[in-house]
Structure 1
Amino acid sequence: MEWRTKDVNTLKYDKLYDLVGIGIGPFNLGMAALADQTEVDAIYFDQKEEFSWHPGMLIDGADLQVPFLADLVTIADPKSPYTFLNYLHEHNRLYQFYFFNKLDIPRKEYNAYTRWVASKLSNCHFGKKVIDVIYQDEGSYYEVSIEDMQSSETQVIKSKHVVLGTGSVPNIPEGFEGYPNEDVLHTNHYLYREKELKKAASVTVVGSGQSAAEVFYDFLNDQDRYGYSLQWLTRSTGFFQLEQAKLGQEVFSPDYVSYFNNLPYEERMNALETLGTLRKGVDPSTLKNIYHLLYHRSTEEQPDVTIQPLTEVNGIEKKGKSYVLDCRQWQEDHAFTVDTDKVVLATGYKPHFPEWFNRIGDEIEWEDEKHFKVEMDQQLVFKDGRDNHVFTLTNLDHSHGTGATNLALSVERNKRVLNRVAGKELFSINTNTVFQQFSSKGM
């Protein structure tokens, strides 16, 4: 498709928009960048004052786990002005990136790139919170109430469709809430508390994914300098690397997501279990760096480090200025405790839904009590069969499998949403993208 120049998208309360996006994370930001080059009149809101991508985990040396081609737009439109390569061009960094000679890019640079795109888009509005969405059946549109976070004034705009991109919030285990943030915190706040954490006598990291490994490695690097005791605990059976075999990676393709989406619900849930190391494993280079550092230190003395899988952390109690963790090695069924001054929870995230979303629960179809039905183009299925859709980019594991959170496949999802809103194919839908096939139907 060719570039087009869209008029400055100032916020207008007296018009009917094609699409309103609620929340501006990488997924909706990518959709906004694609929509900016089309006829779709879309507008996006976020209560934050500016765009920032996981600022608490932008650790020096940490890279994305996907190639730079998984930027906001390239998979859909490599000619877009919002590609990562154009960002490099605009910032005179193409030669540096050429000599960098890696597909993966630093997390800090990905954050800088996405902030650059957000600053270029006139259809993204920050500091504005969507507080309600009401469907007007007679007019076939949604009334979207927006509160300005500075003035507290509320305005209402109209839109034919809505896309929910409110993302996720930290998943804090039961019993770990309410403690001082400087002592017990989730990884999404890690860099904000890093200096305080490293002044402690002992630190425990809980979890086994990429974030856990990056935080543990950061602690390990500075352990000699600060002298703390370091523990790494997880209930997983081991610290497993991300599967990187090329044929194995083909499950991160539109073909597999389409196959997955067409499976019966029970089969989809079973398949999620088998995709664990593909979706949640640790980058091999991170695990290698951890092991190499441990080995070099062990040539002089045994590091003051405990690394233990198969271990549930089921509770926490305050003990003076420190804490006691209630643990259980579940394979042996052996309970024990761990004393620690600080706890960093790398326990993942859970979907976040605004309060108004609860109101439409009875209007949509559900696959079970936790998972709503989602079509391949991310639209929720309303019982009344309305033509005005609510799309979701949140809570898609059960419907889109590997495509639920993958950055490259988020572009595929965005293409489908914009095509449906436009009522025509603005972006081609890719098929036959891999060398293997997943279904035997038609053979």
Structure 2
Amino acid sequence: MENKIYDVIGIGIGPYNLGMATLLDQTEDLDAVFFDKSPEFVWHPGMLIEKMDLQVPFLADLVSFADPKSPYTFMNYLHEHDRMFPFFFHRHFEIPRQEYNHYMQWVAKQLGGLFFGHTVVDVMDHKDADVPHYEVVVKETATGEEKYYQAKHIVMGTGSEPLILDGMDRLPNEDVMHTSRYLFEKDHLLKAKHVTIVGSGQSALEVFLDLLEEQDRQSDMKLSLFTRSGGLFQLDTAKFAQEMFTPEFVDYFHALSLHQRKDALDTLGPLRKGIDPDTLTRLYTKLYHRTAGMKDSRVLIQPMTEITGIEANEDGYHLQCKQWQEEVEYTYPTEKVVLATGYKPHFPGWFMNRFREKIEWEEEGMYKVSRDYQLLFNDDRDHHFFTLTNLVHSHGAGATNLGLSVHRNVHIINTIAGREVYRNQSDTTFQQFSMKEFQ
């Protein structure tokens, strides 16, 4: 066990905690280490489909909103890889997901204090020690050895896990898979005569488009898309709508009651769950060209349909479907199924065992979080437990936005340091959300 007490231990190394590590790397008086069970950094490897872009501009990198002069900006990545001129001529703010992944890998390789292949198996709270701190137990994958580390503060970035429909988690991955495994299982899909995608968001459309491209080379494969939503609706990219991803709106949203926040999230649906307009245009254009002079019976898009179950048979699977508007139930045969059903927050077992009764909850599955992203404990403390996971209910639609993740990290770092290490942006909107100052 190390005697040293770090300022910060980060649990999980996804884009959010990688951004945290990147900003901390440029500070002189804060020591941090980060652990992740993955053997190396890779971002959604099962969905790094060619020709698919991020849904946010390149400025939503790991550091630019906090420190545009940092050596770890995406612009410096382009410069270091001799891609400034191609990027300039490309004239797109949105960058390919594969390039964004490579950018983050490039940053990760330059940082110290990142330990991949290390799983956090326990965190203990020593609040009554002479120096209150947390003790983190880490298991190294390669050796099985457990090591102990201490930190005054914890930043939990354990991300999310695939949301699987009831009963489908017991079926073979090569037959029924979540989009998170799409590229790993794609070869199995290409051998099928009929593939059905279930979902109505960006991931569903990206898989559908990719398989349409493959269908051009494999004419006997049928593709179906079932969506529970009323249709394929596009993401709201209007300028004023995007102001819901600003620090000002986060301030406003966080101050609302839980009931008001839930209602607000319902109204922000097009900002959270819509499909990128360019993706929809690509899909419509492709279908339009393919159906010139003929009807394509190899493609089915069925909205307003909920999948309520699945049954295996000798030819593949039968999906139990319900067209909820017409209230019609039926079965639909298919050979393979891709679930674009989203994700749910991942709570490690040790977290629930150690901290469930120590922290405040707004309701089941929704812990109470301060404006600067601390979990609120039942006792007063100055050794804090910050979370980057499960924040939509407390901080709004921007909780999963890559650009706002930098703003979040600035809040946390400044709180830990007790001073302004990085300046948070202010007065960034033309809209005013709260009327309290006039009361």
Q: Structure 2: which amino acid aligns with 1:167?
A: G
Q: What SS is found at the alignment partner of 1:95? A: helix
Of residues 152, 156, 159 in structure 1, which corresponds to 2:148? 156
Asked if 1:412 corresponds to 2:407, the answer is: yes
Q: Structure 2: which amino acid aligns with 1:331?
A: Q
Which residue of structure 2 aligns with residue 4 of structure 1? Answer: none
> What is the alpha-carbon distance in structure 2 between the residues aligned to residue 442 and residue 404 of structure 1?
25
Which residue of structure 2 aligns with residue 244 of structure 1? Answer: 237
What aligned pairs does 1:177-216 form with structure 2 within 5 A after superposition?
177-216=169-208
Q: CA deviation at 1:393?
A: 0.4
Q: CA deviation at 1:352?
A: 0.5
Q: Structure 2: which amino acid aligns with 1:392?
A: T
Deviations 1:29-50 (Å, cap 9, x if unpaired)? 0000000001211110001110
Q: CA deviation at 1:148?
A: 0.7
How many equivalent pairs are there?
A: 432
> What is the alpha-carbon distance in structure 2 between the residues aligned to residue 321 and residue 133 of structure 1?
48
What aligned pairs does 1:132-143 form with structure 2 within 5 A after superposition?
132-139=122-129, 140-143=132-135
Which residue of structure 1 aligns with residue 284 of structure 2? Answer: 291
> What is the alpha-carbon distance in structure 1 between the residues aligned to residue 42 and residue 292 of structure 2?
42
Q: CA deviation at 1:301?
A: 2.1
Which residue of structure 1 aligns with residue 275 of structure 2? Answer: 282
Q: Structure 2: which amino acid aligns with 1:207?
A: G
> What is the alpha-carbon distance in structure 1 between the residues aligned to residue 214 and residue 422 of structure 2?
48
Which residue of structure 1 aligns with residue 336 of structure 2? Answer: 342
Asked if 1:77 corresponds to 2:67, the answer is: yes
TM-score between both structures, scaled by the size of structure 1: 0.96
Of residues 382, 387, 396 in structure 2, which corresponds to 1:401? 396
Q: CA deviation at 1:442?
A: 1.5
Q: CA deviation at 1:138?
A: 2.2
Task: Report if the CA contact (8 A) 1:206-1:234 is conserved.
Answer: yes
Of residues 421, 424, 433 in structure 2, which corresponds to 1:429? 424
Unaligned 5+ runs, structure 2: none
Task: Report if the CA contact (8 A) 1:17-1:158 is conserved.
Answer: yes
TM-score between both structures, scaled by the size of structure 2: 0.97
What aligned pairs does 1:21-100 form with structure 2 within 5 A after superposition?
21-38=10-27, 39-100=29-90
Deviations 1:58-81 (Å, cap 9, x if unpaired)? 111000000000000000000111
Q: CA deviation at 1:194?
A: 1.3
Q: In terms of mean alpha carbon deviation, does 430-439 or 392-401 score higher? A: 430-439
Of residues 318, 327, 330 in structure 1, which corresponds to 2:324? 330
Asked if 1:262 corresponds to 2:255, the answer is: yes
Unaligned 5+ runs, structure 1: 1-11
> What is the alpha-carbon distance in structure 1 between the residues aligned to residue 418 and residue 119 of structure 2?
28
Q: Structure 2: which amino acid aligns with 1:237?
A: G
> What is the alpha-carbon distance in structure 2 between the residues aligned to residue 280 and residue 191 of structure 1?
22
Q: What SS is found at the alignment partner of 1:48? A: coil
Task: Report if the CA contact (8 A) 1:36-1:123 is conserved.
Answer: no
Q: What SS is found at the alignment partner of 1:363? A: coil
- Percent identity between matched residues is 55
Which residue of structure 1 aligns with residue 365 of structure 2? Answer: 370
> What is the alpha-carbon distance in structure 2 between the residues aligned to residue 356 and residue 85 of structure 1?
39
Q: CA deviation at 1:404?
A: 1.1
Q: Structure 2: which amino acid aligns with 1:405?
A: T
Deviations 1:287-310 (Å, cap 9, x if unpaired)? 111111111111132112110111
Q: In terms of mean alpha carbon deviation, does 138-147 or 27-36 score higher? A: 138-147
Which residue of structure 2 aligns with residue 351 of structure 1? Answer: 345
Which residue of structure 2 aligns with residue 235 of structure 1? Answer: 228
Which residue of structure 1 aligns with residue 213 of structure 2? Answer: 221
> What is the alpha-carbon distance in structure 1 between the residues aligned to residue 172 and residue 355 of structure 2?
36
Q: CA deviation at 1:212?
A: 0.4
Structure 1 stretches of 4+ with a deviation exceeding 4 A read: none
RMSD between aligned alpha carbons? 1.0
Q: CA deviation at 1:421?
A: 0.8
Task: Report if the CA contact (8 A) 1:27-1:165 is conserved.
Answer: yes
Q: What SS is found at the alignment partner of 1:367? A: strand
Q: What SS is found at the alignment partner of 2:107? A: helix
